[in-house]
Amino acid sequence: MSESALLADYQRILTVVRQAAGPVTTRQIGEVLGLDTGVRGKLEPLRGKPTKLADRGCLHKLPDGRFIARR
């Protein structure tokens, strides 16, 4: 699947992970995207999106739950 075919939310997540200096958590992704990460309900909808991107081969999910960009 072409990255340009992804929804805008997924494209923004890919951008955040690629621009990070190292592996990132879902919370860090949320912070960069401007979500209120202190409120659990605001972060929950984001949790599955990086995992879906990893399942599709766009990201790599590390054993500790952090994400890095595929090379």
Task: Give every CB contact of residue 31 below 8 A, 6+ residues apart in sequence.
Answer: 37
Between CA 26 and CA 37, with CA 9 as vertex, the angle to 5 degrees is 35
pLDDT bucket at 39, cuts 50 / 70 / 90: confident
**Mean pLDDT, residues 24-40 taken together:** 91
Domain span at residue 13 reads: 3-69
CATH number at residue 26: 1.10.10.10
Q: Among 64, 68, 35, which residue's Cα sits nearest to residue 54? A: 68
What are the structure tokens assigned to 51, written together?
């995992």
**Per-residue confidence (pLDDT) for residue 42, from 0 to 100:** 80
Domains of the chain: total: 1
